[in-house]
Structure 1
Amino acid sequence: MTSSTVQTRHFDSWDPAAIHGFLSTAYDPKLRIRSKARYRFTHHSVDTGPFTMATVHHTGQLDMGANNLEGLVITHTRTARIDRACGGSTNRFGPGDVYLVTKPGEPCSARWQPGEVEICVLDLSVLEQVATTAPTRRPGPIRFTDLGAVDAALARQWRNTTSYVNGVVLNNPTASAQPLVIGNAARMLAAAALVAFPNTAFTEPTAADRNDASTATLRRAINFMEEHADRDISASDIAGAAGVSLRAVQLAFRRHRGTTPMAYLRRIRLARAHHDLVLADPRQETVSAIASRWGFASHSRFTARYHASYGVPPRETLNA
């Protein structure tokens, strides 16, 4: 379970010492940075706790080195060109490219030409939550085996995911204030990262996982969801409450409900939103506020899902 307070920060400076101090605090206390000429550096970020989204722009050529970046750092170059050295190999990235800056805990260096990049920093615990919801999760830490995206289509999928999170979640004050929305967005980013970049997160389920994927496991999991639907719970929380592995609870839902634990949780939350809409005073409540309260960031997606389940748009229920 996570709780978060969204913090927006903006930094804009021509002072090399101030720039170094800011980046050292934000990314790596031992960060090295050097430039041959005076330059302007701007950094706009939204820190939610489980993830941070940042847009960074500078006007000079920067040589940078990091020893131990916090979390998984994923970069999308918008206009900049970057030469990165990591693990004995060097790569060049240009506009549109998506890549991991380095493997967690490994040093790297880069030459960053003038331009703009988008950076996403994911807490490693969120990756573990998402990876272990899959029935093929390998026990132990996740290890990334390559720093580039698997292919262009998955790189595009990552860009689309960050665009959605920035546009629909972080730019919506009503939605971004809700822990359920932020938790869902964090796991969405983590899932996209695990698909986009090669890693060791998946293997075959064990015989014990298959044996534990029973109706009793399903019942315990659903009871926990019903009781805690208003909290930011993950599949790992659900599995812990059911007393089985994460793979087992995923298999139980696939076997007996034809869905995933998190999809089933969304159904419960949709029903809770329906209940709130029925009881709400339309002079004091809005559809968007109720949807956000139950973890639905996108008004249009909530409306479509609600209409499919209840046969009317949510506004009609609210105004009835």
Structure 2
Amino acid sequence: MRNYVFGHLDSGRIQHSSDGEDRFLLPGDAFLTALPDRPFRAAIDDPDVSMVVLGQEVVDQVADDVRFEGYRPLSRRAADAWRSTCVHLRDEILPVFEESPLVVSNATRLLVATTLATFPNSTLNEIVIDRRDAHPRTLRRAIAFIEANAAKDLTAADVARAARVSIRAIQLAFRRHLDTTPMAYVRRVRLSCAHADLCAANGSVTVIAARWGYARPGVFAAHYRAAYGVSPSQTLWSG
């Protein structure tokens, strides 16, 4: 199994060597230890390190044919955002919502997406040239699949597979015809399902929000108000 091991050094020092390059890590540095199947060496001095392991199969749910191409973040700002995301998910989201599959899966994909935006990889500079698969039929197959399976743990890879195209092609189809992304459309459908549950008084606002993948009721309330013009509690009470 191909795994990527990322880290953030909170204190101490690390001297890290791989691919013929020596890197000296200091507190505040984020890093990729090594590419899969590549040897590396590390000399550590009283470190406090937070580690994240992402399997290739998890990364592939977010983007096609990802290849990480560097060991250091694109910028200090990107590293800080990645670290904040890791801490937020570890300390605030997963302990509270570990029994909510949609919240856990959304948290995992948020971590992958943030990692892809932080460390150099093959998705950052890709230009999609072939538009043959961005066809309305592709979109119709994808929408039918999403609407039939919104309660399940869906990934962009699942939607692409159901539409019988690649992840890049399904992303292009949604962007070209609906000016959105497959996963944004999934969230839109889930918000509609949450609206139906609120109208039927099928649980509290917090329970319904978590059921449809929202870890933070405040975010759910903001998205709901933007879509329906009222708060979730108003819909629940009126139902």
TM-score, length-normalised on structure 1?
Answer: 0.70
Q: What is aligned with 2:7?
A: 75
Could you give the per-residue CA deviations for residues 192-239 of structure 1, whole angstroms, max 9, x where no partner exists? Answer: 1112111223523242xx112111111110000000101111111111
Among candidates 124, 128, 145, match of residue 205 of structure 1? 128
For 1:178, the aligned partner's letter is S
Once the two structures are superposed, residues 178-200 of structure 1 have per-residue CA deviations (whole angstroms, 9 ceiling, x without a partner) of: 11111111111111111211122
SS in 1 for 2:43: strand
> Number of residues paired by the alignment?
237
Question: Deviation digits for residues 15-61 of structure 1, max 9, x if unmatched?
Answer: xxxxxxxxxxxxxxxxxxxxxxxxxxxxxxxxxxxxxxxxxxxxxxx
Is the Cα–Cα contact under 8 Å of residues 63 and 168 in structure 2 kept in the other structure? no
**Structure 2: which 5+ runs fail to align?**
none
- Alignment of 1:185 with 2:185, yes or no, is no
Post-superposition offset of 1:70:
5.8
Partner of 1:310: 228
Q: What is the correspondence of 1:204-283 to structure 2 with a 5 Å cutoff? A: 204-207=127-130, 210-280=131-201
Q: Is the Cα contact below 8 Å between 1:76 and 1:117 reproduced in 2?
A: yes
Q: Which has more helix, going by share of residues? A: 2
Q: RMSD value over aligned CA atoms?
A: 1.7
Q: What secondary structure, in the 3-state scheme, does the structure 2 residue paired with 1:212 have?
A: coil
Q: How many Å separate the matches in 2 of 1:82 and 1:318?
A: 54
Structure 1: state its 5+ residue gaps: 1-68, 133-140
Q: Structure 1 CA distance, aligned partners of 2:32 and 2:22?
A: 13
1:112 aligned partner: 44
Shift of residue 176, structure 1, vs aligned partner = 2.2
CA distance in 2, matches of 1:271, 1:149: 37
Mapped partners of 1:103, 1:130: distance in 2: 19
Q: What secondary structure sits across from 1:77 in the alignment?
A: strand
Q: TM-score, normalised by structure 2?
A: 0.93
In structure 1, C-alpha distance between the alignment counterparts of 2:2 and 2:205, rounded to whole Å: 38
Say whether the 8 Å CA contact 1:85–1:110 is kept in structure 2.
yes
Distance (whole Å) between structure 2 residues aligned to residue 197 and residue 305 of structure 1: 30
- 1:80 is paired with a residue whose SS is strand
Aligned twin of 2:30: 98
Preserved CA contact (<8 Å) 2:134 2:170: yes
3-state secondary structure, aligned to 1:114? strand
Tell me if the contact between 1:168 and 1:298 (Cα under 8 Å) persists in the aligned partners.
no
Q: Secondary structure at the match of 1:103?
A: coil
Change (3 A) 1:80 1:319: farther
* Paired letter, 1:119: M
The answer to whether residue 219 in structure 2 is matched with residue 292 in structure 1 is no
Computing the radius of gyration from Cα coordinates, the structure with the larger value is: 1
* Structure 2 counterpart of 1:153: 77
Deviation at residue 142 of structure 1 after TM alignment:
2.8
Q: Deviations 1:140-180 (Å, cap 9, x if unpaired)?
A: x43222111111121122112213312432131xx221111
